[in-house]
Amino acid sequence: MVTGDSEKYGDDFIKFLGTAGARFVVAKQLRASGGLWLSAESFNILIDPGPGSLVKCLSSRPKLDPALLNGIILTHRHLDHSNDVNVLIEAMTNGGSDKKGFLLAPRDALEGKDPVVQLYLRRFLEKIDFLEEKKIFNFPSFTMETPVRHHHPVETYGLKFVFPYGKVFLISDTAFFPELIHYYQGADILILNVVIFEVRSANTILHLKYQQAKELIRGIKPKVAVLTHFGMTMLQQRPHLLAAKLQDELGIKVIAAGDGLKLSFSSFFPVSTE
Ligand SMILES: [Zn+2]
Ligand SMILES: [Zn+2]
């Protein structure tokens, strides 16, 4: 690292509090399911707090203190993305004594007959807003866009974070559709939820398969691709071996996320020489 680098990026990072991606992997906790903790210039967002998220925050080394969260994002309402949202709203707001923080989620996670966020907790929050197609959210040192509704049984969005030094995109749960390549073009770091290995599993399962993830990485050409959210068939194939194979085949750096992986952005973005 060059002098001045750490100043430029601060300590911005994403930490994987879980890499589990399907019913059995979550239920048996073969991988943890705590979501992603994003920190940029000390602005902290928890993305998709699935089962065990609070415990994973507190048991992280160093500890990730939920009271330091500025907000929570649910890419969609499924249990593996939202189970701990209620307890984390409490933890973020000191049991409701500090009215603070935001919650961003698709409309169907908050409204309708079966919302996933309890009503009495919502008044603890400073702001609640819906994720919608092509919406841009402004945060102190970066922006976030939800470019397109994914193909998934419930309303679901991927997230495009644009920092002054680079772009970190997350393709959350979705079936493959070719336009994804267009919508997520320009990623420096591309995180993909790759649930299924088998090529021939039913197309009614609305999740990315390994070969489709490969097609996306080839089309989007990020500097780094990070595979996560593994189902059983991906775990059986050993994600790190699949990542190594993809890296070989595509000539693009590919990482298989493990529980507790911390991606420090300073190690991925080149230092500008301006
Ligand atoms: Zn999922
Ligand atoms: Zn889902």
Q: How far is the CA of 195 from the centre of ligand 1 (A)?
A: 8
81 CA to centre of ligand 1 in angstroms? 6
pLDDT band at 9 (very low <50, low <70, confident <90, very high): low
95 CA from centroid of ligand 2 (Å): 28
Q: Residue 274 C-alpha to ligand 1 middle, in angstroms?
A: 41
Sheet holding 71-73, edge to edge: 127-131, 102-106, 71-73, 43-47, 33-40, 13-18, 262-264
Q: What is the mean pLDDT of residues 256-269?
A: 91
For ligand 2, the distance from its centroid to the CA atom of residue 203, given in whole angstroms, is: 15
The bound ligand whose nearest atom lies closest to the alpha carbon of 205 is 2
* Residue 100 burial (C-beta neighbours within 10 Å; 0-12, 13-18, 19+): middle
Give the ligand at the shortest distance from the Cα of 170: 1
User: Measured between alpha carbons, how far is 36 from 59 in angstroms, rounded to an integer?
Assistant: 14
Q: What is the mean pLDDT of the chain?
A: 93
Q: How confident is the model at residue 268 (pLDDT cuts 50, 70, 90)?
A: confident
Give the mean model confidence (pLDDT) for residues 216-227. 98
Asked if 25 and 233 touch (Cβ cutoff 8 Å), the reply is no
Using one digit for the tens of pLDDT, what is the confidence trace for 48-99?
999 999 999 999 999 999 999 999 999 999 999 999 999 999 999 999 999 9
**Domains of the chain listed by start with CATH number:** 10-267 (3.60.15.10)
Give alpha helix (H) positions in the chain: 5-9, 23-27, 53-59, 79-82, 85-92, 107-110, 119-122, 179-183, 210-220, 232-236, 239-250
* Separation of CA 208 and ligand 2 centre (Å): 11
Q: CA dihedral defined by 155, 211, 81, 133, rounded to 10 degrees?
A: -30
For residue 270, the CA-to-ligand 2 centroid distance in Å is: 34
Tell me what pLDDT residue 131 has: 98
| β-pair type (189-196, 253-256) | unpaired
Q: Which of 186, 185, 229 is nearest to 48 (CA)?
A: 229
Q: Which of 75, 92, 93 is nearest to 35 (CA)?
A: 75
Ligand in nearest proximity to the CA of 193: 1
Nearest to 47 by CA among 176, 177, 119, 137: 137
> What is the tens place of the pLDDT at every residue in 169-211?
999 999 999 999 999 999 999 999 999 998 776 667 899 999 9
Q: In sequence order, what are the residues at sequence separation of 6 or more whose Cβ sits closer than 8 angstroms to the Cβ of residue 111? A: none
- Span from the CA of 6 to the centroid of ligand 2 (angstroms): 36
DSSP bridge pairs for 226: 191, 255
Q: Residue 273's pLDDT band (boundaries 50, 70, 90)?
A: very low
- The residue-averaged pLDDT of 245-271 equals 91
Q: Model-level pTM?
A: 0.94
Contact predicate 133/148, CB 8 Å: yes
